[in-house]
Amino acid sequence: MQQFDKDLVIIGGGPGGYDVAVKAAKHGLSVALIEKHEVGGTCLNYGCIPTKALYRNAEVIRDFKSANEYGISFDNYSLNFNQVQERKSQVIETLQSNIKLMLKKAKVDVIYGTASFIDEHTVTIEKNEEETTQLTAKYFIIATGSTEKVIPIKGVNYDGVYTSKDLLDVDEVPKRLVVIGGGVIGVEMASIFHEFGSEVVIIEFLDQLLNNFDKDISSRLKVYLKKQGIKVYTGTAVEEIEKLDDGLAVTGKNKKGKLVTANGDLVLMSTGRRAFIDGLNLTSIDVSYDQNGIKVSDNFQTSQPHIYAVGDVIGKEMLAHTATYHSYKALDHMLNFENKTNFDVVPGCVFTFPEIASVGLTEEQANNKYEDIKVNKFMFRANGKALSMSKTDGFIKVIAHNNRLIGAHIIGPHASDYVHEATVLIEQGIKILDAVSIIHAHPTLSESLLEALRGLIE
Ligand code: FAD
């Protein structure tokens, strides 16, 4: 029998890589994790965590601005942006050292370097310009993530045209920020930097922000962003970025052919992400991929059955939690364990003001799939907790078929914290009549889900 250096080599130390490395080692496999940058991947280093650390600062600013409403007066506040960035870095460092400790305790061999396949059981790892090593393994998991997709428009290479990664690390708040792309990253960054004091303009090619979300949610978000003072142009194709004496000018055309111009000190390109397979040498080992990413089976096996691929690199939802759950399923398949994870029911959250959280089918998708759906909305202004918090913007929209919940879409305070109840109801196929007989504590925001569900059966 062929001998290998390791049972399992994982390429990429993001959410699709580090957790499964620990899990596999706990199951007795000898595991190496190869990471070319820092453990934690995009999520921890320049994605979920830094954005949410900055979001918290923005939230505190909003609370200060509305303090008078609560009978609290103060003269003014000032923003020490160095401290904002320092707090963000500390959060990242703490989580990074937790991950490193976890990997060390599990005896995962962490190798820093860039991996590339030389045959279907061997990778070379370029540690630096002088040092290269090789490793063989019985199984591989490719979890190399994604990178920014930049649209090829004129002026895209000018200084001041930033990716989300660049924008997260700025030393000072830009006076004017133009955001190209109104997807999740675009609207989150727009919301955060608007609270920091930037004048923000969002330009989105499609007719709605957050294209994959329920239309009611997207259009309500647009209303709230505009009310907050963010300019939003949807259905507008950006054509060019020009350099001015004082910054950059972004020009585009809307569907009626009208010119739209927005000037900024910085321009954020948040026009999507693409699977990152550069340098892996997949063609030479017959691992199939297309423009969306590496092709996998339901068990996350690639066209080479001992090589699995998970997370952003397979080009599906591109969420940190799905990356991790993909990797668990891949490991369970390797070990012949049962794994019933249902990848059709995945909650997604957007950290705007207010938050958005969504799971299951949108109304449009539900209508395409079934003839007889039921839809109900419950407004947060009728919820006691939301009223007592003075955070009454938004609603919960629920969609049912055959007396069961099939979609829930929330725009409202702390939406990300209680979307999971709807996730359980959908995933487990619990009857709405049974769901509404479960006692909920009062006063809570999650009572709103109950109220929305009640409206479906009354
Ligand atoms: P990654 O996290 O991208 O990790 C891949 C790792 O592989 C990287 O560390 C990279 O250095 C390494 N690598 C690549 N090639 C090689 C190689 N050849 N050799 C060795 N190492 C290699 N998702 C959420 O669920 N919630 C959020 O709030 C959220 N916010 C986001 C905000 C922003 C600004 C961005 C950009 C993304 C956000 N995401 C969020 C998406 C989330 O970050 C990704 O879905 C997630 O990180 C994907 O995990 P992954 O393990 O597939 O890849």
Tens digits of per-residue pLDDT, 264-320? 999 999 999 999 999 999 999 999 999 999 999 999 999 999 999 999 999 998 999
CA 419-422-426 angle, 5° bins: 140
Q: Residue 276: which residues within 8 A CB-CB, separation 6 or more?
A: 144, 145, 146, 147, 312, 313
Nearest-angstrom CA–CA distance, 188 and 403: 35
Average pLDDT of the chain to the nearest whole number = 97
**CB atoms near residue 371 (< 10 Å):** 6
Give residue for tokens 């040498």: 281
130 touches 252 (CB < 8 A): no
If you search the block for the tokens 């305790």, which residue do you land on?
A: 105
Average pLDDT on 332-339 reads 98
Domain edges within the chain? 6-148+274-334, 161-271, 354-457
**What is the DSSP code (8-state) at residue 206?**
S
pLDDT of residue 150: 86
Is there a contact between 304 and 120 (Cβ–Cβ < 8 Å)? yes
Q: At what angle do helices 215-228 and 184-196 cross, to 10 degrees?
A: 20
DSSP H helices, 288-399, are: 320-334, 363-369, 384-389
Flag whether 47 is marked binding: no
Q: Do the two domains 161-271 and 354-457 of this chain adopt the same fold?
A: no
Tokens of 251: 């020009």
Query: Tokens for 320?
Result: 């940190």
CB neighbours of 187 closer than 8 A, spacing ≥ 6?
179, 202, 209, 210, 221, 225, 350, 352
Distance in Å, CA 139 to ligand 1 centroid: 21
How many residues belong to the chain? Answer: 458
The DSSP call for residue 164 is H
* Residue that the structure tokens 């890589």 belong to: 17
Q: 10 Å Cβ neighbour count for 64?
A: 15
Note the Cα 53 to chain centre separation in Å: 14
* Per-residue pLDDT, 458: 75
Q: What is the mean pLDDT of residues 21-47?
A: 98
Ligand 1 centroid distance, CA of 310 (Å): 11
Q: b/e per residue, 109-137, with b = 16+ CB within 10 A?
A: bbbebbbbbeeebbbebeeeeeeeeebeb
Count CB neighbours of 228 within 10 A.
15
CA dist., res. 316 & res. 293, Å (int): 8
Ligand 1 atom with least separation from CA of 319? 45
Is 320 annotated in some ligand binding site? yes
- The verdict on domain 354-457 having CATH code 3.40.390.10 is no
Ligand 1-lining residues (CB < 6 angstroms) = 11-17, 34-37, 41-43, 47-48, 51, 114-115, 143-146, 164, 185, 276, 279-280, 311-313, 318-321, 323
What does the CA dihedral 148, 154, 158, 163 come to, rounded to 10 degrees?
A: -20
pLDDT band per the 50, 70, 90 thresholds, residue 372: very high
Calculate the alpha carbon distances from 331 to 7, 15, 20 in Å. 12, 14, 7
- Ligand 1 centroid to residue 404 C-alpha, Å: 34
- Cα(187) to centroid of ligand 1, in Å? 19
Q: What percent of the chain has pLDDT over 90?
A: 97
* Alpha helices for 79-163 (secondary structure H): 81-105
């305070």: which residue's tokens?
Answer: 413
* Atom 53 of ligand 1: nearest residue by CA position: 145
- The neighbour count for residue 297, using CB atoms within 10 Å, is 11
Task: Please tell me the CATH superfamily of domain 6-148+274-334, with its number.
Answer: FAD/NAD(P)-binding domain (3.50.50.60)
Q: Looking at the domain covering 161-271, what would its CATH class be?
A: alpha beta
Q: What is the pLDDT of residue 74?
A: 83
Q: What is the pLDDT of residue 129?
A: 83
- Residue 128 clears pLDDT 90, i.e. is over it: no
Which is the closest atom of ligand 1 to the Cα of 327?
A: 51
Alpha-carbon span 207 to 163, nearest angstrom: 23
Are the C-beta atoms of residues 163 and 50 closer than 8 Å to each other? no
CB 301 within 8 A of CB 333: yes
Based on the number of CB atoms within 10 Å of its own CB, is 41 exposed (0-12), middle (13-18) or buried (19 or more)? Answer: buried
Terminal CA-CA length for the chain: 66
* Calpha distance 34→286 (Å, rounded): 21
Q: Is 185 annotated as a binding residue?
A: yes
Instruction: Please report which confidence band the pLDDT of residue 412 belongs to, taking 50, 70 and 90 as the band edges.
Output: very high
Report the alpha-carbon distance of residue 308 to residue 326 in Å, rounded. 10
What letter does residue 154 receive in the DSSP assignment? Answer: B
pTM tops 0.95, yes or no: yes
